[in-house]
Each structure stands twice: as C-alpha cells, then as structure tokens.
Chain A
Amino acid sequence: MATRSVAVPTRRPREARLRWGRLPAWLRFSLLLAALIALWQAYVSIEQPDELLFASPLAVAEAFVDGWRDGTLARATWTTVQVLALGIGIGALIAVVLTVFATLTKIGEDLLSLLTAILNPLPGVAVLPLALLWFGLNTNALLFVIANATIWPIAINVSTGFRTVNPTLVAVGRNIGLSSRRLVTDVLVPAGLPHAISGLKTAWAFGWRTVIAAELVFGVSGADGGLGFFINNAKLYLQIPQVFAGLVMIAILGVVFETLFGVLERRTIVRWGMKTS
C-alpha cells in the first residue's frame, strides 16, 4: 500500500487554536474570578497586611460559611431585602399615583417635573437625619429614605413611557373600540413596559445603595439589623473577615437581582423586540 506524505502545517489554523472568546460564558467568568481571588490571596500571603485591616480569601470564606450557618448573615440579608422591597413598593405606589396625575393633566406633569428636579438629586443618606427626627429611631425612617430614592426614577420613567407611546398604537386601540380604561391597561401599560422596567432597575440600584448606607449610619443594633448593620457591627468588634463576608453577600445579592431583572426582561421586552437599551 502506497503512503503519501502530506506536508503538516507548522501552525494550527487560527480557528482550531484555543481562543478566549470561544469558551462558554460561565467558564470565562469563573476563570477570571478565580484569577482575581488568587491575586487577592497572593497579596495577603506576600504582603501580610495587618489582619485587623485586611482579610484573606480563605478567612472571608470561613466567615461567610459561619455567618450562614449560625443564621446571622441570613437574618441580616433577609432584613435588608425586606426593608428594600417594602421601600420600593411604597415608592412605586406613590410614583404610579403621581404618574397617572401627570399623564392626565398638564398641571400634574409640571408638578412631577418640579418635584423630581428638587427631590431626585437628594442622596438618601442625606435625608436620613431628618427622617430619623420625623419618624423616630426605627425602620419607618429607613422606609421613608428608600421611598424617596425610588419614587423619582420610577415616576420619570413610567411617565416618559406613557408619553412616548407610539400614537399609532393608541389610534389602533381607539379604532378597535377600546374604552379609556382598557386603552390604559391594554395599550399604554404594555407599551410603557420597557420604560417601567428601566425605571424599576434604576430604582432598585438607588434603593439598594441607600438601604445599605442608611443601615450603616443608622446604628440601631440587635437582631433587627440588616446587612449594613452586620458589616458595621463586625467592624466594631474588629472582625474583619466578617466585614468582608458582608460585602461579599452584598455583591452576591447584587448579581442575583441583576439576573432576575435579566430574566424579567428576556421574558417580556426582549421577546417582544421592545428593549430600548
């Protein structure tokens, strides 16, 4: 049998070589994360910073697991999430009322613009001392602050959404015989959904930052504390790994919520081809 020798290429063709971009997403991010953690551990091992200032990944992992096991981290997380959810709920409710008013009347629109311009730039934590004075040293002050942080992004976005609904869709709605009420629920609301979701995402981002910062400043102790309190308390007792563990928890929650938003978007506005950004 005759064999033929074939010239073997000295380099593999470009497509066959391992390229970063071709790995699946989860693998890419896991590898990058692992690399960052390794860098972190390297810094700790080499530089040996004061353990009262900086914790190693191992110590943080331990503190994290312990925190979950004895329930302190779980309780703190649940408290923060609860307060945030309630605060956003209140904020959304007020936002909807203001928005309906703004959509139906010109004076409502002006009022919303004015209030937003004045109150939106106020960072939640700046309002907290006043809130503590009005509502006392309890969660109501926190709720007030979070609501203030969330009303304006939601209201602006929803009212923009309503106002920028394609007039053709409204015309179609009237043409097929929709009543005013159904026009709002069946046309304006779904048409405004991309903006509403965008507003909700912004509200969540502001609210999240506000609640953690407010908890840090708030200083109320006990089992009622949220993640911000957990971190501050750990710091008071100089338990630095716990501080880091609290931060890790915050980061994880952030990722979880981003993912949830992503799912929501994929099921709705992405499916309908309506995603604006």
Chain B
Amino acid sequence: MPTSRSRLLVSQDRSGPPPCSDRALLRVDRVQLGYWTPRGFTLAVGEASFEVDARERIIVIGPSGCGKSTLLKAIAGFIAPVGGTITVAGRETLAPGPDRAVVFQEFDQLFPWRTVLDNVAYPLRVNGAGRRAATTSARSFLDLTGLAHAADRYPHQLSGGMKQRVAIARTLALEPLILLMDEPFGSLDAITRARLQRELRSILERTQTTLLFVTHSIDEALVLGDRVVVLGGTPSSVLEITDVRDVGPPDSPDYAEMRIHLRELLAIEGREEDEGGHP
C-alpha cells in the first residue's frame, strides 16, 4: 500500500555506505506502481523489472501516460511502489536524497532567489561541504556546462536552455550515484534541444555518471542512450530492453532500422508521439 506522507515531512536515507554485492547500481525488481482515485485504485505500472549498471546510460521510453515519469519518481523516492522493490546501491529508495539527483522537466526548478552560482553551491553546502569548497566545485560544474559567464545572474534572466543547463550542473555537482532526468528537454525548441542532447552526452562521457533518462522521443533515446527500456501496455510493463550502443550516427542504416523497430513497438501500444528534434 502506498505509504502516507504529509506534505512537508521528509525522511532521510542517511545510513552509511551500502553493502554492495553485485555490479548493478539500480535494480528495479517486479515493481508495481499505482495511485488512488475517487473511483478506486489504478495501477499505472503493472510490472517492471530491469537493472542499470554503474556508468551506464539507460533511457526509459514509452508513450504518454505509460507511467515512465511515475517510475522515475519512484526511483527518486518521491513515491513508494505498491509491489516489488527498487534498490540503488543495495538500499531501498524510500525517500528522496541527493544520491539520486533529479533534473525535472520544468524550467523553474531553480530557486529564483539565488544566483546561478548559489543554486549550484547551496545544495553542496546543505550536504556538508564548506562554503569555499562548495563555491569552487560549483564554478567548475558551471564551467562544464558552459555557464561560467552567467554565475552571478538570477534564474529569471536566463533562457530556458540555460536554466536546464544550470539544473544539470546542480545535479552533477552533487555527484549522485545515479542521475535521473525526467524529460528535461521537452519544453525546449528543437535547435536548443538538439544542442543540449549533444552537450549532455559529452559531459556524461567526461563525468562517467550513471544516467536514467525518461523521454518519449526515440531520437533522443538513440542519441543519448546505451540501452533503451521500452514501456508500454495498460497497465504498462517492460516490453523490451534493447542495446543501442552500436547503432551509429543518425544517417546510418543500423540507426534507421532501430528507429523503425522502436516506432513499431511504441505504435502498437497506442498513439505515436512527436519525436522531438533531431538534426
């Protein structure tokens, strides 16, 4: 049953380093997710199981309403599964924490009353870093995302793309076990979106951060991902887990084939979605 939470109460998962016996960093094991409506209980995710290894980039893809965002929220610890377990580094994800830093879809996930620099440094200070160390680290991550020049601006002065870059810098600075991204480029225009996809990929190759990325864009999945988890059905389940590391650039035949394949998978389960920008 879903655990009840008051709007403000937060519990922290702050016990020591986890006992880790196998390689899989994230393990989603026969997870069922659902919610209460006035009409009763609805199951969003019927059963999902998959594993993510360290340094892997997993894309969860599926049509709208298939529960992929819900799954991400469960991994992040905002909601609890009604069945099955989710573990990260051996520990169950019962509460949100900086080890599973999230980049949301909305632009206004930055604190408007803090500068860009402070938005990145403040979470570090919250988690115990000293003021100077936090600032230095923040600056280096802003550098990484190409925002060093905007460090002293306020979020309302930035464009959408820049705001998402700050969010990425903030999450990476926390050096999470796994970076969770919930359609972060969905509100951007096609050109900016494409640019950010490329930048994200090169940043992650440098930081070697594990990634779980939710999207409904096939092209985005193919550009960013190592493996693709396809969700579908009602209630949804994992239809397929495909390795897309070797599909090559977008103009290659392997790419086209994979794209068709994934489109078919998604099309079976309902409306086909707009697939986002791809240069």
Interface residues of A (CB under 8 A from B): 103-104, 166, 168-169, 171-172, 174-180, 182-184, 187, 190-191, 193, 268, 271-274
Contact = CB atoms under 8 A, between A and B. Distances in A.
18 contacts: A169-B108, A172-B104, A174-B78, A175-B100, A176-B126, A176-B127, A176-B174, A177-B98, A179-B10, A183-B8, A183-B10, A184-B8, A190-B111, A268-B113, A273-B154, A273-B156, A273-B157, A274-B112
Contacts of B78: 171, 174
B202 interface: no
B12 interface: yes
Contact of A168 (B109, B113, B154): B109
B155 interface: yes
A184 B6 CA distance: 13
Given A171-B102, A271-B154, A177 B12 contact: yes
A183 B10 CA distance: 9
Contacts of B214: none
Nearest to B78: A171
Interface string B144-158: 000000000011110
Which 3 residue pairs spanning A and B have beta carbons closest together?
A273-B156, A176-B123, A174-B96
B155 A104 contact: no
A104 B9 CA distance: 10
A176 B101 contact: yes
B117 interface: no
A180 B127 contact: no
Contacts of B269: none
A172 B106 CA distance: 11
B111 A175 contact: no
A35 to B, nearest CB: 39
B150 to A, nearest CB: 14
Listed residue (A177, A182, A191, A274) with the most chain B CB atoms within 10 angstroms of its CB? A177
Given A176-B98, A177-B96, A190-B111, 16 more contacts: A103-B8, A166-B106, A168-B108, A169-B109, A171-B102, A171-B109, A172-B102, A174-B10, A174-B78, A175-B76, A175-B97, A176-B174, A179-B10, A180-B9, A193-B113, A271-B154
Contacts of A172: 102, 104, 109, 111
Interface in B115-132: 123, 126-127
A274 B157 CA distance: 11
Contacts of A179: 10, 12
Contacts of B100: 175
Contacts of B12: 177, 179
Chain B's interface size range is: 20 to 34
A180 B102 contact: no
A104 B8 contact: yes
Contacts of A193: 113
A190 B111 CA distance: 9
Contact of B10 (A166, A169, A178): A178
A177 B8 contact: no
B10 A180 contact: yes
B104 A272 contact: no
A191 B112 CA distance: 8
B113 A175 contact: no
Contacts of A177: 12, 96-98, 123, 126-127
Contacts of B155: 273
A58 B122 CA distance: 58
Contacts of A187: 111
A172 B184 CA distance: 14
Interface string B1-19: 0000010111010000000
Contact of B96 (A169, A175, A180, A184): A175
Listed residue (A171, A174, A183, A184) with the most chain B CB atoms within 10 angstroms of its CB? A174
Contacts of B101: 175-176
A174 B10 CA distance: 7
Contacts of B113: 190-191, 193, 268, 272, 274
A171 B10 contact: no
A203 B9 CA distance: 31
Contacts of B127: 176-177
Contacts of B109: 168-169, 171-172
Contacts of B76: 175
Nearest to B157: A273
A183 B109 CA distance: 15
A172 B108 CA distance: 10
B98 to A, nearest CB: 5
